[in-house]
Amino acid sequence: MALLQYFGAVEGWLSEWITRTTAGNAFANLRQRNQFASLTSIGLLSLLFIAQWPAKRDLYPAHRLRQWLIAAAVLLLAAGNAASSSRTGAVQWLLIAGLALVWETHGQRPLLRWSVLALGLYLAANIVLPLLLQAVSGLEPSSTLDRFNETRRGEARTVLWANVLELIRERPWVGWGWGELKFAHFMHPYAGERFNDILDNAHNLPLHLAVTLGVPASVALCGAALVLTLRARPWREVSATRQLAWGVLMVLAVHSLLEYPLWYAPFQVAAALAVGMLCGRRLLHWPGLPVLASGVAGLLITTTAYASWDYWRVSQLYMPPALRADMWREDTLNKVRDSVIFRGEVQFAYVTTTPVTSETAEALYKASLQTLHFSPEPKVIAVLLESAALLSMESPLTEHIRRQWRAAYREGY
Q: Count of CB atoms within 10 A of residue 261's CB?
A: 24
Distance of CA 243 to the CA centre of its chain: 23
pLDDT digits (tens, 9 = 90+) for 283-331: 777 788 788 889 999 999 999 999 999 999 999 999 998 899 988 888 8
Residue 223 has pLDDT above 60, yes or no: yes
**Residues near 241 by beta carbon (within 8 Å), at least 6 away in sequence:** 49, 277
The count of C-alpha atoms lying within 13 angstroms of the C-alpha of 187, restricted to the half-sphere facing its C-beta, is 16
Q: Rounded to whole angstroms, how far apart are CA atoms 12 and 205?
A: 40
pLDDT digits (tens, 9 = 90+) for 172-198: 999 999 999 999 999 999 988 999 889
Residue-level length of the chain: 413
User: Which pLDDT band, with edges at 50, 70 and 90, does 412 fall under?
Assistant: low
Residue of 4, 21, 31 whose CA lies nearest to 267: 31
Q: In this prediction, what percent of the chain has a pLDDT beyond 70?
A: 95
CB distance 202 to 208 below 8 Å: yes
**Residues near 139 by beta carbon (within 8 Å), at least 6 away in sequence:** 23, 24, 133
User: Which pLDDT band, with edges at 50, 70 and 90, does 386 fall under?
Assistant: very high
Q: Count of CB atoms within 10 A of residue 388's CB?
A: 22
